[in-house]
């Protein structure tokens, strides 16, 4: 057991994995001009474990071996465990300039869910899944692996499930069972960070019907597994100057269309195979943890909205205007509301076999819905406070040019005593955050990542105790 260094993590990615970027095979993800930037960004998790400022938050100590391991792998047992996990996710995202790391967060969300579902399947006469999950979890924890999750099937015609599609591979499925394992075929989409993790856990995307046995499958494979093809993409895709793009110049989030071209999975790595009644249970259990993770890593972004709005209002000399103060108050309330809901979700957790704490599902979904449904309004308020220079301002080349720089410095100053450079840097930060490719990327994530607005509303409707509320209303109305 032990923690890896950033160098050991990067070395583990030189394993011959089959990654394509813009149609071309990538020979080494660590040195690729785009994916390599994502690799460096992911090193944040490993550096934090070495940093005295974060070490107590970033690691746990095994009570039996006394060896350290990443807190991400710590099975949550109570509110304190959930809160520290949330705090670590938020802290790493802050270190990443509001861009989440995710190389352990999503994977451990899946591992927690697998523990719960495997425990239930053991009660139903299938103890082998529990044994496999526990063994795989310990391997990932003890080797300090980065673990991605592939859950979202490409789906094809979304009015149908796996059956009746134009071809049967719109949902990933088992195409062959062997004595030593299974062979799977299909594709998953929206697979975050798999270009730079060691492993990938594959989960079903939805509840399945009895005829969907081939699609009711969960397993894990190394990223370099034969037949696993990663078609990588990212926002942007060009080199940027940090002055003009202070967030996105040094950070990338890689996504992949993850193709399983007849991939062999040994039995010890299969966690579900044909159990249609458990497929939906696993999909939803994963989401219970994953949306808690999602809200946790959104918090630094909301803090940045409020902070950048306050700073640029001061630089523009309008921080005393009533309508500006009103917008800043709205941004502060937005941040505080989402943060308060996620803290409450940790405190009002439920403990389920095998003794794992699940964040309060209702409060987690309300927090995620509040974040997603108010995001674009928050962007509008920050842009309104900042002004049109977000998209019409001069370039970094204009600022640095001997011929044009003096004009930029003279004419784009703001409030007396504020250097022009400070104002331009803040405008560039807000532009990067809200008006460029990174801003567009974040706006789409707000709507779709970790579940759509409709998915969060549906779960909120399911979890709220309408029967109790209606009984109270009938009591006060005098209805017996």
Q: Per residue in 327-375, pLDDT tens?
A: 999 999 999 999 999 999 999 999 999 999 999 999 999 999 999 999 9
Distance between CA 336 and CA 381 in Å, rounded? Answer: 16
Strands 181-192 vs 173-177: parallel, antiparallel or unpaired = antiparallel
State which H helix or E strand residue 447 sits in.
helix 437-448
Report whether pLDDT(236) > 80: no
CA dihedral 11, 12, 18, 21 (to 10 degrees): -50
Torsion sign (Cα): 74, 75, 81, 86: positive
Sketch out the chain's domains with CATH numbers. Answer: 280-473 (1.20.140.10)
Average pLDDT score over residue span 388-392: 95
How does pLDDT run across 161-201, given as a tens digit for each residue? 999 899 899 999 999 999 999 999 999 999 999 999 999 99
Report whether pLDDT(285) > 90: yes
Report whether pLDDT(127) > 90: yes
pLDDT-derived band at 134 (thresholds 50, 70, 90) equals very high
Q: Average pLDDT over the chain, rounded to whole?
A: 95
Phi, psi of 188 (to 5 degrees): -120, 150
Distance between CA 448 and CA 463 in Å, rounded? Answer: 21
As beta bridge partners, residue 188 has 153, 258
CA distances from 147 to 35, 59, 286, 449 (A): 16, 17, 14, 18
> What's residue 237's pLDDT?
64
């Amino acid at each position: 057991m032990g923690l890896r260094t950033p160098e050991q993590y990067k070395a583990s990615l030189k394993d011959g994995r089959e990654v394509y970027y813009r149609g071309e095979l990538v020979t080494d993800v660590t040195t690729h001009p785009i994916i390599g930037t994502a690799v460096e960004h992911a090193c944040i998790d490993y550096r934090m474990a070495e940093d005295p400022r974060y070490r107590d938050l970033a690691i746990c100590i095994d009570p039996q071996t006394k060896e350290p391991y990443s807190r991400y792998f710590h099975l949550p047992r109570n509110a304190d465990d959930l809160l520290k996990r949330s705090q670590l996710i938020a802290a790493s995202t802050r270190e990443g300039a509001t861009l989440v790391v995710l190389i352990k967060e999503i994977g451990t969300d899946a591992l927690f869910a697998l523990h719960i579902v495997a425990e239930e399947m053991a009660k139903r006469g299938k103890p082998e899944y529990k044994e496999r999950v526990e063994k795989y979890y310990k391997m990932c924890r003890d080797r300090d692996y980065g673990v991605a999750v592939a859950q979202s099937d490409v789906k094809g015609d979304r009015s149908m499930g796996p059956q009746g599609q134009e071809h049967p591979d719109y949902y990933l499925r088992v195409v062959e069972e062997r004595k030593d394992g299974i062979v799977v075929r299909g594709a998953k989409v929206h697979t975050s960070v798999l270009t730079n993790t060691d492993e990938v856990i594959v989960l079903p995307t939805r509840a399945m019907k009895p005829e969907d046995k081939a699609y009711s499958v969960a397993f894990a494979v190394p990223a370099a597994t034969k037949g696993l093809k990663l078609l990588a993409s990212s926002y942007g895709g060009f080199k940027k100057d940090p002055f003009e793009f202070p967030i996105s110049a040094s950070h990338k989030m890689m996504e992949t269309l993850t193709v399983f071209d007849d991939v062999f999975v040994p039995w010890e790595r299969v966690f579900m195979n044909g159990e249609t009644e458990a497929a939906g249970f696993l999909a939803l259990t994963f989401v219970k943890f994953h949306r808690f993770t999602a809200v946790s890593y959104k918090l630094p972004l909301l803090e940045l909205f409020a902070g950048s709005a306050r700073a640029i209002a001061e630089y523009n000399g309008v921080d005393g205007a009533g309508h500006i103060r009103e917008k800043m108050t709205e941004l502060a309330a937005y941040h505080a509301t989402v943060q308060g809901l996620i803290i409450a979700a940790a405190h009002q957790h439920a403990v389920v076999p095998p003794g794992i704490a699940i964040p309060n599902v209702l409060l987690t979904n309300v927090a995620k819905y509040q974040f997603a449904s108010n995001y674009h309004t928050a962007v509008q308020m920050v842009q309104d406070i900042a002004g049109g220079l977000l998209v019409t301002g001069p370039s970094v080349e204009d600022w640095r040019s001997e011929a044009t720089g003096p004009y930029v410095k003279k004419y784009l100053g703001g409030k007396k005593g504020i250097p022009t450079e400070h104002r331009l840097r803040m405008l560039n930060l807000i532009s990067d955050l809200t008006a460029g490719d990174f801003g567009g990327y974040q706006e789409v994530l707000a709507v779709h990542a970790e579940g759509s607005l409709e998915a969060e509303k549906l779960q909120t409707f399911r979890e709220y105790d309408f029967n109790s509320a209606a009984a109270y209303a009938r009591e006060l109305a005098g209805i017996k």
